[in-house]
């Protein structure tokens, strides 16, 4: 059955599982009309995902929907924001109704999970890609930023970075993992990352800066250092690596993926000494480990890595979208 643009939108995307009170008008008019809560700052982020660059051509549409939303929610997590609304611009090479049903079902499952509402977008024909604009809000003056780190602050990461890069290597047949459970875990960390939205909200009163790990810790921590005008010392011996990863690759490769692989969507954040004692109470019940990996230094120190107490030189770089 042929499906034009408007019937496609009506059939697959004009359905409201979560109807938010702050949405005055959603899909179906020229613009969405939104009511911003009082004493809140609007947070907006946009990501474009292109087939062959950001996801594999044979990805399951449900996994694609999950990841597309997760990487955007992760941006809100890095700011300590509450997710609220989403727009989706979807470019399709053809109208495959089975694909659209699986994609839209998974998308709305995740929107419902995060109490979000799809409020508009666009569809057009062309090579498979999508652009999502996510909106949320954060209490006035309490947003996490990249620019607040100070010398003496401690550097933390959530979870176990490097797992996503290993999962991608498995999908591309660059890494063979015979243990089915370990392989499934690593692949899931790539296809279905977990945005640390509750961690970000809990850190609003405690962290001095934060960023999500989309391009690898070397690159993303570098953004904090540049925005804050500081340096850092990272202790490689402290870096958290998962057991499934270490069972199947050499420690040096695991560390390389953790520092430069990208697409982990964990949080890297800095905490003043005064607030360190409250982290366990604030984060321990949220389901993801958090690890101190180093300390913020004066800008003149640059970004330095140490192992066994001695400086080491790394030639690894983070993910580059134009490389």
Answer yes or no: is 45 a known binding residue: yes
Answer yes or no: is 219 a known binding residue: no
Query: Pick from 37, 111, 106: which is nearest to 73 by CA?
Result: 111
Query: Pick from 62, 112, 118: which is nearest to 89 by CA?
Result: 118
Answer yes or no: is 263 a known binding residue: yes
Answer yes or no: is 214 a known binding residue: yes
Please give the structure tokens belonging to residue 139: 């209490």
8 Å CB contact between 274 and 209: no
Answer yes or no: is 205 a known binding residue: no
**Pairing relation of β-strands 303-307 and 230-235?**
parallel
Answer yes or no: is 66 a known binding residue: no
Answer yes or no: is 266 a known binding residue: no
Q: How many CB atoms lie within 10 A of CB 243?
A: 10
User: 55 has which bridge partners?
Assistant: 51
Q: What angle do CA 22, 28, 33 make, to 5 degrees?
A: 30
Task: State the Cα–Cα distance between residues 125 and 95, nearest whole angstrom.
Answer: 9
Answer yes or no: is 209 a known binding residue: no
Answer yes or no: is 15 a known binding residue: no
8 Å CB contact between 66 and 192: yes
Answer yes or no: is 115 a known binding residue: no
Q: Which burial class, exposed, middle or buried, applies to 64 when counting CB atoms under 10 A from its CB (0-12, 13-18, 19+)?
A: buried
Answer yes or no: is 82 a known binding residue: no
**Which residues, in sequence order, are CB contacts of 58 under 8 Å at separation 6+?**
none
Answer yes or no: is 299 a known binding residue: no
Answer yes or no: is 280 a known binding residue: no
Answer yes or no: is 146 a known binding residue: yes
Residue positions forming the annotated binding site: 30, 45-47, 54, 75, 121-122, 146, 212, 214-215, 263, 319
Residue positions forming the annotated binding site for substrate: 54, 263, 319
Residue positions forming the annotated binding site for ATP: 121-122, 146, 214
Residue positions forming the annotated binding site for Mg(2+): 30, 45-47, 75, 122, 212, 215
């Amino acid at each position: 059955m042929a499906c034009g643009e408007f019937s496609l939108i009506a059939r697959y995307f004009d359905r409201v599982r979560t109807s938010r009170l702050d949405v005055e008008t959603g899909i179906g008019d020229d613009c969405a009309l939104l009511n911003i809560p009082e004493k809140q700052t609007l947070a907006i982020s946009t990501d474009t995902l292109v087939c062959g660059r950001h996801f594999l051509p044979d990805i399951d549409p449900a996994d694609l929907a999950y990841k597309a939303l997760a990487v955007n929610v992760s941006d809100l997590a890095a700011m300590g924001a509450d997710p609220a609304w989403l727009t989706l611009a979807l470019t399709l090479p053809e109208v495959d109704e089975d694909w659209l049903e699986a994609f839209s079902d998974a998308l709305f499952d995740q929107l419902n999970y995060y109490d979000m509402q799809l409020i508009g977008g666009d569809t057009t024909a062309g090579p498979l890609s999508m652009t999502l604009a996510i909106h949320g809000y954060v209490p006035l003056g309490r947003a996490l930023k990249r620019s607040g780190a100070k010398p003496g602050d401690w550097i933390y990461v959530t979870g176990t970075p490097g797992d996503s890069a290993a999962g991608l290597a498995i999908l591309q047949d660059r890494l063979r993992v015979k243990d089915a459970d370990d392989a499934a875990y690593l692949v899931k960390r790539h296809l279905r990352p977990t945005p640390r939205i509750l961690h970000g909200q809990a850190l609003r009163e405690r962290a001095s800066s934060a960023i999500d790990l989309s391009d690898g810790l070397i690159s993303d921590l570098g953004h904090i250092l540049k925005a804050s005008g500081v340096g850092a010392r990272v202790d490689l011996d402290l870096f958290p690596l998962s057991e499934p990863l270490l069972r199947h690759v050499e420690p040096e490769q695991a560390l390389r993926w953790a520092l430069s692989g990208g697409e982990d969507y964990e949080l890297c954040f800095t905490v003043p000494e005064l607030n360190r004692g409250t982290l366990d109470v604030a984060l321990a019940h949220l389901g993801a480990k958090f690890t101190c990996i180093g300390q913020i230094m004066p800008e003149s120190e640059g970004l330095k890595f140490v192992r066994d107490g001695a400086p080491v030189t790394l030639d690894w770089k983070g993910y580059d979208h134009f490389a």
